[in-house]
Amino acid sequence: MGWRLLQPRERTILGFGLATMVIVSGVIGAFVWLFLSELGLPLPTETWIALGAIPAVGGLALVLSLKWIRGRMLSMAALREAVIASENTKALSQELLLADRFGREARAWNALIDRLGGQCQAEIDTTSAGSGTSAADARLALSVCSALWQGVLVVGPKLDVRYANPAAAMLLGIDATKLVGASVIELLEMTALLDDASGQSPTLRRGTLEVERPVGESTAHLRVSVRSGRDGDGSVVVIEDVTQLQAAEEARANFIAHATHELRTPLTNMRLYAETALGDDCDEAMLGTCLNVINQEVRRLERVVSDMLSVSEMEAGALSIQEGEARLDQLFEELKLEFEHQAKDKGVTLKFTLPPKLPVIKGDRDKLLQAYHNVLGNAIKYTPQGGEVTLSADQTDEGLIVTVRDTGVGISEADKQRIFERFYRTDDVRASGAQGTGLGLTLAKEIMLCHEGLIDVDSTPGKGSVFTLSLPSGRLVA
């Protein structure tokens, strides 16, 4: 077992040394015998005994020396293994102790481990006694901190980090071993929370601030809260990642702004045309125009309110469909009547490429109409003057496939991954003039999923987009 404690290189050196000593002893003995034989000196029995005794004594001395060297090397090898093991051991455990057979070095090492272990336990007991908790409670508290998803830093009176849980290392993007001992001011730029009282060293005061840290190509927003310790013992810093929360708040604020615009525009148009219709100089033709516009704006207002209600249902997880039957020929005819004037006013050519006979769909007619309406409305909205929008339908063995193709501004690869997110609106300058709530495609996707269907997009920036809405064959009645 002692031989296994040696490293491979040490084994090789030891074996090579032993072999060399044996060979040298044999060569010396042979040289003496040849030298005496050449001189022709007689070799009496006493000489032969003396010559034999010399290698025997040398061999005995060699064995005793090797035994002593072997013992020393084994003790040093065992001590070396213990030192290496202590590097990967968080606590001073009994596993680091050496057997007494390894000599004086082992006894000194064991005494050092016992002394250090006693000091660590005394510190834990002292800290626990001062706080009114037991050592087991202190260890439990550390385990709880390690399991938290918020980052926790324990900062000393000199603003140096005394403890950092794994979540803090992850949020800050710094190895946990490098956090301990670092300055919390340099880590989080917390100068705004420094309390420079005259005659005293700077301390952290209780408060909250938000800092930004680069994470790859994006920026993470961290909320840092400071809680002061007792009697100037330090502070506890809690770190939370509020990037998604801030993005959601910004999206909601944008949604409210766009929704307000979407609600105000039809209401303004309705008021103006109602005043015109009530005027004394309004003839029958003008009255018909006013009523037509008011009717369109009422329907537009109804769709905006319906989108908002659908979003509330989605957030509550209560979005559902009312099973029934929907005739696609009537549904597409309604879409055509609703959008042909809008497309004509914008200078966009609107085409419907439909088969002679369309099936009846089993599902929620109003929800399906809302999904097709949102996709077709987006296509017209993002297609510039002179462009073309085509809606086509095709019945296959897999089900019904409705395709909306436009020659609009197109969608970038980055936006394609996010256009179905609620409240999302692209930053593309080519689409900056289009108004909307950022909910149309989100609702269309949810409605298709409720009907066991799918929605997909294929787009090239500057060349247009193709949205495909598919329903399974099980939804086709006839």
Model confidence pLDDT, tens digit, residues 266-313: 888 889 889 888 888 888 888 888 888 888 888 778 877 877 777 777
- What pLDDT shows up at residue 469? 93
Contact 382, 434 (CB under 8 A): yes
Two structure tokens written together for 372: 């097709």
Rounded to 10 degrees, the C-alpha dihedral 327/328/329/333 comes to 110
| C-alpha to C-alpha distance for 310 and 319, rounded to whole angstroms | 7
The more confident residue out of 434 and 371 is 371
Go through 112-141 and write b for each residue having 16 or more CB atoms within 10 A of its CB, e for each that does not: ebeeeeeeeeeeeeeebeeeeeeeeeeeee
Whether the per-residue pLDDT at 5 is higher than 50: the answer is no
Query: Does residue 434 register a pLDDT over 90?
Result: no
Percent of the chain with pLDDT over 90: 8
Given this model, what pLDDT does residue 435 score? 58
What average pLDDT is seen over the chain?
Answer: 75
Confidence at residue 321, expressed as pLDDT on a 0 to 100 scale: 78
* Predicted pLDDT at 198: 47
Q: Which two tokens stand for residue 184?
A: 């919390």
The pLDDT tens digits of the residues spanning 313-331 come to 776 666 777 888 888 888 9
Distance between start and end Cα atoms, the chain: 84
Of residues 388 and 198, which shows the higher confidence score? 388
Q: Give the per-residue pLDDT at 35.
A: 64
19-43: pLDDT as tens digits: 666 676 666 666 666 666 666 655 5
Structure tokens at 84: 């290496």
Beta carbons of 223 and 237 less than 8 angstroms apart: no
Give tens-digit pLDDT for 204-241: 777 788 888 776 667 788 888 888 765 556 788 888 88
d(CA 296, CA 373): 14
pLDDT for residue 352: 92
The whole-number pLDDT of residue 366 equals: 86
* For range 139-150, the mean pLDDT: 75
pLDDT confidence band for 163 (50 / 70 / 90): confident
Q: If pLDDT is split at 50, 70 and 90, which confidence band does 388 have?
A: very high
Over residues 108-137, the pLDDT tens digits come to 777 776 666 555 555 545 555 555 555 666
Question: Which among 57-61, 161-165, 403-407 has the top mean pLDDT?
Answer: 403-407
What pLDDT, on the 0 to 100 scale, is given for residue 408?
87
Mean pLDDT of 335-344: 86
Residue 220 phi, psi (nearest 5): -95, 140
The pairing of beta strand 388-395 with beta strand 349-353: parallel
CA atoms within a 13 Å half-sphere pointing along the CA-CB vector of 392:
10
Say what percent of the chain tops pLDDT 70: 63
- Give DSSP secondary structure letters for 246-311: HHHHHHHHHHHHHHHHHHHHHHHHHHHHHHHHHSTT--HHHHHHHHHHHHHHHHHHHHHHHHHHHH
pLDDT at 1 over 50: no
Q: How many CA atoms lie within 13 A of 287 on its CB side?
A: 7
Exposure letters 89-99 (e unless 16+ CB within 10 A, then b): eeebeeebebe
